[in-house]
Amino acid sequence: PTLGIVVVAAGSGARLGGAEPKAFVALRGVPILERALRGVFDSVEPAQVVVVAPESHVKAARTIAERVAGGASGAITVVAGGSTRQASVAAGLAALSAEVDTVLVHDAARALTPSALIDRVARAVRTTGAGVIPALPVTDTVKRVGPDAVVQGTVDRSDLVHVQTPQGFPRADLEAAYASATDEHTDDAALFAAHGGRVSVVEGEARAFKITTAWDLRRAENVLGAQTA
Ligand code: CTP
Ligand code: MG
């Protein structure tokens, strides 16, 4: 496959506070990683899927990935992650096979991401030849606040968006950006842009929200309703 999808799942999930790393916490009976990989494997283009897992959970991640992939398990790679998300992405990139020319980086914590979003981002990377990220408009009013808790003003939100994953890039350009990155960036698009890359947005999906806190996990459970498998 010429598409590579790096699914980062090596975080501990401190804010969720589960007994296991977040990707292995059950969401209506199915691990978060497994739910995320269902979306990935339902996407249309054949892909090499690289799962980045905590060192302690590499085997568990492989079992989950093979269960989701079924017959397509030849295209799965599982590697151990690092101490930051950026280090985990770097570990995933290092495991891509030679023929991959387009890379998507995706958070396992966005467990309910529809496959249509993965397709949309992959297509847009190929059309634009540049970075592509899913975005949704900011709907809350945004304030700038001083250290004294006093509101200094209202930020014009008309050109603000909040962004999601998967984030897609031409492989060579993303690798070059990672090779020269020294600072920590909040997402791959910021790292890519810091090294001169152009990034544009496509429409995101409400279901691609990130499970960060216990509240988010309940939200995901509610979205799934009675669906326990
Ligand atoms: N991630 C990773 N390696 C890390 C840190 C994060 O692969 N060292 C992954 C997480 O597994 C997750 C995604 O990056 O799928 C987004 O990170 P986040 O939601 O912050 O997850 P955690 O870091 O696990 O959560 P927390 O920050 O609450 O500990
Ligand atoms: Mg984190």
Q: Pick the atom of ligand 1 nearest to 82's CA.
A: 8
Give the CA distances from residue 225 to residues 162, 209, 211, 216, 229, in Å, rounded to whole numbers and listed in that order: 26, 16, 16, 14, 11
Other Cβ atoms within 10 Å of 74 Cβ, number: 8
Residue 179 falls inside a structural domain: yes
Closest residue by Cα to residue 99 from 172, 40, 169 = 172
d(CA 13, CA 3) in angstroms, rounded, equals 28
Per the DSSP assignment, residues forming a β-bridge with 52 are: 8, 79
What's the CA-to-centroid distance between 109 and ligand 2, angstroms? 10
Query: Domain of 27: which CATH number?
Result: 3.90.550.10
pLDDT on residue 152: 97
Q: Pick the atom of ligand 1 nearest to 211's CA.
A: 19
Structural domain containing residue 143 = 3-224
d(CA 170, CA 168) in angstroms, rounded, equals 7
pLDDT on residue 106: 98
Closest residue by Cα to residue 6 from 167, 131, 135 = 167
Our answer on whether the CB atom of 186 is closer than 6 Å to any ligand 1 atom is no
d(CA 25, CA 2) in angstroms, rounded, equals 31
Our answer on whether the CB atom of 210 is closer than 6 Å to any ligand 1 atom is yes
Residue 132 falls inside a structural domain: yes
Residue whose CB lies within 8 A of the most ligand 1 atoms, among 34, 89, 104, 107, for a mutation test: 107
- Tens digit of each residue's pLDDT, the chain (229 residues): 999 999 999 999 999 999 999 999 999 999 999 999 999 999 999 999 999 999 999 999 999 999 999 877 679 999 999 999 999 999 999 999 999 999 999 999 999 999 999 999 999 999 999 999 999 999 999 999 999 999 999 999 999 999 999 999 999 999 999 999 999 999 999 999 999 999 999 999 999 999 999 999 999 999 999 888 8
Tell me how many domains the chain contains.
1
Q: Pick the atom of ligand 1 nearest to 10's CA.
A: 7
Residue whose CA is at the smallest distance from ligand 1 atom 6 = 11
d(CA 57, CA 161) in angstroms, rounded, equals 34
Q: Which ligand is nearest to the CA of 165?
A: 1
pLDDT on residue 229: 87
Residue 85 falls inside a structural domain: yes
Report residue 132 CA to chain centroid gap. Answer: 13
Q: What is the DSSP string of 97-166?
A: -TT--EEEEEETT-TT--HHHHHHHHHHHHHHSSEEEEEEE--S-EEEE-TTS-EEEEE--TT-EEE-S-
Residue 229 falls inside a structural domain: no
What's the CA-to-centroid distance between 142 and ligand 2, angstroms? 23
pLDDT on residue 95: 98
Residue 59 falls inside a structural domain: yes
pLDDT on residue 74: 73
